[in-house]
Amino acid sequence: MALSKRLRSVIIAACGTTLLVTGTLVGNPLAMADPLSDAQAQLDEIEAQRSAIEQSYNDSQLRQSKAEAQKESLSSDIADTQTKIDAMKPAAIYIVQMQQQGAGIDLTASFLLNDSPENFLSQMQTAATVTSLINDQLSSYVSQINHLNALNETLAGTISDIKAEVATQQKLLAAAQVKEAAAQTVVNRLTSQQRMTLQAKQQVVSPQHAAASSSRAQTVLNFALAQVGKGYIMGTAGPVTFDCSGLVMAAYAKVGIYLPHSSREQFNYGTPVARADLQPGDLLFFYSPIHHVGMYIGNGMMVHASNPRTGVHVTPIQGSYSGARRLI
């Protein structure tokens, strides 16, 4: 049966309205999205990226610290070797001059070239002739010079490594600032009420924590909780600001346990603990590979230094949990 033109128009209009309503209520995810949940998801993703940058920064600082220690050791070795060379140099020059002139070096000269009569007699017991004694002295002198050259070459490489690490850290700091700006942009898009709600979720004002199992663990826990409200700066370990591994490092130093300033390195300390067996003071690690650490305080809560927006705060155990370690 043929439909009239007017009826067809009404049906088409009705279908169009239905499609529009359906698209608005069901088909368009943006219309149903929760701005706060969306912002939190974006912040979580940014935080994972920024935390990885922090880990790289701290690892670079550890490498720089080791290189600085190596530089100091090399400098000391170079000074000692140079002292030996300076002491041997007059004798070596004398020997070379005599050889160039075609003159022999008798026992008297050999005696004078030694530091002491006892040293001379000791060397003569092992050297068959004066010539072999002189060759030993020259060989030792050349060996020390070669050793000094090798030390200087290693030192130059170490200094180059230090400069490279400093440059790497500058780049990582810049990258972290980009992530922090991106996170702030996400927050700025929210209404004031939404920002207050987000902040309330990220910060537990009055943390409820359980008692630690020992006095040492309690000392660690008390220190960490006393830092709540302090600021976050990447690469710091107190007393005014902390990053995640810096907070843990400072807390455990209070009981004589000295950890590296790296969450990934800290995971190698202590013994593994199942999540169901967590006790206050245990270290909690996040992401894979690991690049964040916090401290368990009981009741499913943790204290940690997250980022510049939140500083040191108490929150429920966050996602991306990787494992836990017990040091006490």
68-108 residue pLDDT tens: 999 999 999 999 999 999 998 888 887 777 766 655 555 44
The whole-angstrom separation of Cα 15 and Cα 7 is 12
Residue 100 pLDDT: 66
Give the mean pLDDT of 298-320. Answer: 92
Choosing from 209, 291, 292, 313, which is the catalytic residue? 292
Give the mean pLDDT of 57-63. Answer: 96
The whole-angstrom separation of Cα 315 and Cα 304 is 8
Domains and CATH numbers, the chain: 36-188 (no CATH), 205-326 (3.90.1720.10)
291 labelled catalytic: no
Choosing from 209, 261, 291, 304, which is the catalytic residue? 304
292 labelled catalytic: yes
CB 221 within 8 A of CB 209: yes
| Alpha-carbon distance values, 131 to 92, 106, 145, 272 (Å) | 13, 9, 21, 66
Helix (H) or strand (E) holding 313: strand 312-316
Tell me: cis bond preceding 280? Omega within 30 of 0 counts.
no
Give the mean pLDDT of 189-194. Answer: 90
List, for residues 153-182, the tens digit of each pLDDT value. Answer: 999 999 999 999 999 999 999 999 999 999
Beta bridge partners of 305: 312
List, for residues 250-264, the tens digit of each pLDDT value. Answer: 999 999 999 999 999
244 labelled catalytic: yes
Choosing from 244, 261, 291, 313, which is the catalytic residue? 244
- Give 130: exposed, middle or buried? Use CB within 10 Å, 0-12, 13-18, 19+: middle
* Mean pLDDT (the chain, rounded): 83
